[in-house]
């Protein structure tokens, strides 16, 4: 058991999720939002862009509706993916002062 407070996933407001009864679309929307709640800002953008692309026509509007992300944000994610994520930081977006120390190799003499 962990006491960590988890980020609350975004609640989709589309017609399927509002209906209340479980359907495949609702499950997908919930899992998209659940997954997104564990990503950082730029990863969220890229995932939204990927899902939007997978949906195809009208995908960006749909993903925007499901995730609450702005269409422009998703569009930006798509552009960044198209540019092979050049210039995007690896790992957390947050700029930290203290970098991780390199691991010291343990010498095994036996
Ligand atoms: Zn929904």
Q: How far is the CA of 17 from the centre of ligand 1 (A)?
A: 4
The answer as to whether 51 is a domain residue is: yes
Distance in Å, CA 1 to ligand 1 centroid: 30
Please check whether residue 22 lies inside any domain of the structure: yes
pTM over 0.85: no
Q: Would 99 be classed as within a structural domain?
A: no
Task: Please write the tens of the pLDDT for every residue from 66-105.
Answer: 999 999 999 999 999 999 999 998 876 555 555 555 555 5
Q: Give a yes or no: residue 97 inside a domain.
A: no
Distance 27 CA to ligand 1 centre (A): 8
**Range of the structural domain that residue 73 is part of:** 15-82
Kindly give the residue spans of alpha helices, DSSP state H, lying in 1-105.
15-19, 24-36, 41-55, 59-67, 71-82
pLDDT tens-digit series, residues 8-37: 899 998 888 888 777 889 999 999 999 999
């Amino acid at each position: 058991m962990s006491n960590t407070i988890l980020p609350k996933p975004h609640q989709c407001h589309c017609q399927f999720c509002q209906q209340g009864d479980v359907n495949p679309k609702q499950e997908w929307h919930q899992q998209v939002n659940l997954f997104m709640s564990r990503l950082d800002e730029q990863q969220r953008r890229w995932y939204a862009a990927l899902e939007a692309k997978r949906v195809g026509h009208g995908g960006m509007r749909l993903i925007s509706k499901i995730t609450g992300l702005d269409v422009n944000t998703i569009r930006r994610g798509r552009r960044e993916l198209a540019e092979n994520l050049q210039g995007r930081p690896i790992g957390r977006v947050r700029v930290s002062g203290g970098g991780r120390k390199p691991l010291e190799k343990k010498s095994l003499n036996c």
